[in-house]
Amino acid sequence: MTKLPIIIDTDPGIDDAMMLTLAFANEQAFDVRLVSTCSGNISQDKTNYNARSFLSYIGANVEIARGLEQPIFRELQVAEDIHGESGFGNVQFPAPTLPVSKRPAVTAMLETIMASDEKMTIVATGPLTNVAALLLAHPEVKPKIERISWMGGAAVGGNMSPSAEFNAYVDPHAVEIVFRSGIPVVMSGLDVTHKAFVTIDEAKSILAIGTEFAEKAYHLVTYYLEVMKRTPFHEENYDQVLHFHDVCAVMYLLRPELFEGQDCYVEVALEGLAAGATIVDYTNRSGKTANVHVLHSVNREEFVKEFVKAVKIISERLK
């Protein structure tokens, strides 16, 4: 099986850790050549530390590059209210053994892509600041990028405003740059990620694996339950299900047949109350050429099975 060469740009974050679990459990499918950290769920200091700590813990051997501190034109807004002050809820991982790369994220991404004999795929599960900076500063990389699989955006309804999802809201200008780049983009927005959930009983099956890693994974994802109890804007079944938003960006590359979506023209609002809203032209009223493959449905049962399998793989590897 030919491995897909990928760069992961992430802001760990609870569901980012679960995304990394899926990516590094499937070594037969993915050749992860670089992990870069963006500022989003928490500050750059914390996201980079968390990526190094988590990946050190699961035994990954990968370069981890530090990304940009702030969005392109906005002040950084973090989500410590959702992910906890550390970004990992109440779960702690040992101090990292993996170092911070000597190369900053944009340089590391550029050099990794240009050195590859194959086109590369970028998996982005946070604000698109690093990716946009790469494309602005080095447009010569565009022909060497196969696609960008991004968790972000929403066609209907947001979680930061009435119309904007968090990752798009934090840096809408970066989304605009990526969507206009001409590179194929797959958008795992809230429309699909809200369907990619794990029930309490399914989470208990993760705990039942009986390893330290499975226990940590369980306590990571169930931290969301405590968060939602004190959040005034409850989602449907907030106390019964756990959303694995970021996992979708990797799961689509691993098992694309589990998802349904369509090619659409998508714009992003940059200012005002609608800032960060991703406006999806499902009916082609604009007459503009599609620039994003927008996912809207997932086979949830198979999604959960694949994720639980990944936890078992990492658990076995750590024995």
Nearest to 100 by CA among 140, 67, 68, 148: 67
Mean pLDDT by 10 residues, the chain (319 residues): 94 95 98 97 95 98 97 89 83 96 98 98 98 98 98 93 94 98 98 93 93 95 72 57 92 98 98 94 95 98 97 95
245: annotated active-site residue: yes
Catalytic residue among 173, 243, 245, 296: 245
Residue 39: its pLDDT value, please? Answer: 96
3-state DSSP assignment of residue 314: helix
Terminal-to-terminal C-alpha distance of the chain: 26
125/134 Cα distance (integer angstroms): 16
Sheet holding 145-151, edge to edge: 64-66, 30-37, 4-10, 120-124, 145-151, 185-188, 292-298, 259-268, 278-281
Instruction: Give the chain's count of helices (H) and strands (E).
Output: 12, 11
Q: Which domains does the chain carry?
A: 4-314 (3.90.245.10)
